[in-house]
Amino acid sequence: GESVGLHLPTLSVQEGDNSIINCAYSNSASDYFIWYKQESGKGPQFIIDIRSNMDKRQGQRVTVLLNKTVKHLSLQIAATQPGDSAVYFCAASTDKLIFGTGTRLQVFP
Amino acid sequence: DAGVTQSPTHLIKTRGQQVTLRCSPISGHKSVSWYQQVLGQGPQFIFQYYEKEERGRGNFPDRFSARQFPNYSSELNVNALLLGDSALYLCASSLTGGGYGYTFGSGTRLTVV
């Protein structure tokens, strides 16, 4: 079955720097991927998504890159702010969501 | 507009007891899914319902059951609670399910002692 893994459990960045969070998936049949942000005490919040027929998608300060050859996703956050501090999950979507283990992003001044 | 609402927000139960968690989807959403999130891990799929019918079930024991009502709200029941059932239980609603357009609630934190 599908599995999703994140490369680093914790990422520490300085305010204003760019952040890159990576994720790998196993099932080539997955055609839709989503990045979620989860703050303490809250449920996952949608950030950005990408379909398998795309390589890149941009939102406000966020970019998702998809490399289907190596089954790898990344989330780039530009000009990271203290409010970006949270746990970030990638999820592969089939008929349900399959989540990775999450990367905690810590932003320091 | 109200988002996905879950109740209660926190709950403490004793081993062997039974628990019922509730979820109200976003207005107009006909699909509800349940996920279990153990501390330090990503959410794990438990159930999906669409139009009151079970659409999918994750790798959870029969102690876990759920249902969806005509107003599309849903309940998750867990019988014979174990310490390992302690987790954040998340409900997500979407228009039709099928892996797209999910919105999550804030969850119910269940502690089994």
The token duo for B24 is 């109200």
pLDDT of amino acid A1: 61
pLDDT of amino acid A91: 93
The token duo for B72 is 């599309």
* Chain B CB contacts of A4 below 8 Å: 42
A99 vs B43, B98, B105: nearest CB: B43
pLDDT digits (tens, 9 = 90+) for A38-58: 999 899 999 999 999 999 999
Residues B97 and B50 sit within 8 Å (Cβ to Cβ): yes
pLDDT of amino acid B64: 98
pLDDT of amino acid A2: 67
Q: Which residues contact B106 (CB under 8 A, 6 or more apart)?
A: A41, A42, A43, B6, B9
Residues B49 and B66 sit within 8 Å (Cβ to Cβ): yes
Least confident of A23-32, B75-84, B103-112: A23-32
B112 touches chain A (CB under 8 A): no
Residue B57 neighbours by CB distance under 10 Å: 15
* Chain A CB contacts of B8 below 8 Å: none
For residue A69, what is the DSSP state?
A: T
Distance of CA A67 to the CA centre of its chain: 13
Residue B53 neighbours by CB distance under 10 Å: 8
pLDDT of amino acid A6: 63
* Chain A CB contacts of B45 below 8 Å: 96-98
Closest CA to B112 of B15, B40, B43: B15
B104 vs A44, A100, A101: nearest CB: A44
Q: Which amino acid is at B110?
A: L
Give the model's confidence band at A78: pLDDT under 50 very low, under 70 low, under 90 confident, else very high.
very high
B74 touches chain A (CB under 8 A): no
- Phi, psi of B79, deg, nearest 5: -100, 160
Q: Is pLDDT above 80 for B5?
A: yes
Q: Is pLDDT above 80 for B91?
A: yes
Q: Is pLDDT above 90 for A101?
A: no
The token duo for B42 is 């990503």
